């Protein structure tokens, strides 16, 4: 109901409407999300979790890096939830390329990899969130909302481990991390993934992920090529 007051003539007059005060506030649009994970069951669970959150809308799903890039270009989501262990092209070194497909999209990594080296590289590559799958129910919504607001989210336990470790030395060839150099050296020396995991206290799956990232960064896929690279860089001795 409009308020009225009496003008100089004594007749009631309508108080001029103020759009700034009387118009309903503009409601922000939903936080749109793209889910990138190669497991259909995992994507279904994530969709249920995120769609149940007020203000969230899952707009697309993807199962590998190429389809993720296509969906990023087509949907321009607010947030991308990105798994690091999809088949084919490795996700972690592809983050800058994925980001180029939709520069305004914020990337949150959701992974089983609890190695600080993965988290450091993900954040260095452009991700703004790093959540472990084991804590997804408790942390993913919080991480996605933080990303949408321009903030960074890091799994607390992993963040504490990163803070306790000394910073990685610089100067590794081809942007390899310290852990990747360690894995590459052991690969070149002929160790299996299981043996590498035992020496570095890593799971076989984590070693496999490191190996995929090394191959992607170096553009070398066979063991012979990796051995030659390690020799050329002086990482092993003949």
What is the per-residue pLDDT for 28?
A: 65
Query: How is residue 113 written in tokens?
Result: 């990899």
Residue 14 within any structural domain of the chain: no
- Helix, coil or strand: residue 62: strand
Percent of the chain, pLDDT > 70?
Answer: 84
DSSP 219: T
Residue 68 contacts residue 80 (beta carbons within 8 Å): yes
Residue 20 within any structural domain of the chain: no
DSSP 234: T
More confident residue, 65 or 238: 65
Residue 86 within any structural domain of the chain: yes
Does 178 lie in the same domain as 93?
no
Q: Give 224's Cβ-side CA count (13 Å radius).
A: 0
Q: What is the CATH number of the domain that holds 198?
A: 1.10.10.10
Other CB atoms closer than 10 Å to residue 191's CB: what's the count?
A: 17
What is the per-residue pLDDT for 222?
A: 85
What is the per-residue pLDDT for 70?
A: 97
Residue 153 within any structural domain of the chain: yes
Residue 59 within any structural domain of the chain: yes
Does 184 lie in the same domain as 158?
no
137 pLDDT more than 50 = yes
Residue 238 within any structural domain of the chain: no
Does 197 lie in the same domain as 116?
no
Does 84 lie in the same domain as 42?
yes
What is the per-residue pLDDT for 171?
A: 59
Does 129 lie in the same domain as 35?
yes
Domain boundary residue, one of 164, 189, 206? 164
Q: What is the CATH number of the domain that holds 50?
A: 3.40.50.2300
Does 60 lie in the same domain as 122?
yes
Does 156 lie in the same domain as 101?
yes
* Domains of the chain: total: 2
Does 209 lie in the same domain as 153?
no
Chain segment 101-111, per-residue pLDDT in tens: 999 999 999 99
Alpha-carbon distance 161 to 159, whole Å? 5
Chain segment 59-81, per-residue pLDDT in tens: 999 999 999 999 999 999 999 99
Does 180 lie in the same domain as 139?
no
- Helix, coil or strand: residue 233: coil
Please give the residue range of the domain that contains residue 191: 173-232
Query: How is residue 108 written in tokens?
Result: 């949150």
Does 66 lie in the same domain as 157?
yes
Q: Mean pLDDT over residues 7-34, rounded? A: 54
Does 78 lie in the same domain as 196?
no
């Amino acid at each position: 109901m409009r308020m009225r007051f009496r003008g100089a003539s004594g007749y009631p007059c309508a108080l001029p409407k103020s759009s700034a005060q009387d118009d309903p506030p503009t409601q922000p649009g939903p936080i749109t999300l793209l889910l990138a994970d190669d497991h259909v069951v995992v994507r279904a669970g994530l969709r249920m979790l995120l769609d149940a959150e007020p203000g969230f809308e899952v707009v697309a799903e993807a199962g590998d890096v190429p389809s993720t890039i296509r969906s990023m270009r087509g949907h321009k989501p607010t947030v991308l939830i990105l798994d690091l262990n999809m088949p084919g092209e490795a996700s972690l070194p592809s983050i800058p390329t994925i980001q180029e497909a939709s520069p305004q999209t914020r990337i949150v990594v959701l992974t089983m990899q609890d190695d600080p080296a993965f988290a450091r590289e993900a954040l260095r590559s452009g991700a703004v969130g790093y959540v472990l799958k084991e804590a997804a129910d408790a942390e993913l919504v919080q991480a996605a909302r933080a990303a949408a607001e321009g903030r960074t989210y890091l799994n607390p336990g992993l963040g504490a481990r990163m803070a306790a470790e000394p910073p990685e030395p610089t100067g590794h060839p081809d942007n390899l991390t310290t852990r990747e150099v360690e894995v590459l050296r052991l690969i070149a020396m002929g160790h299996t993934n299981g043996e590498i995991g035992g020496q570095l206290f890593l799971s076989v799956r984590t070693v496999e992920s490191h190996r995929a990232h090394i191959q992607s960064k170096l553009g070398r896929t066979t063991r012979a090529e990796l051995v030659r690279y390690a020799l050329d860089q002086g990482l092993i001795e003949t």
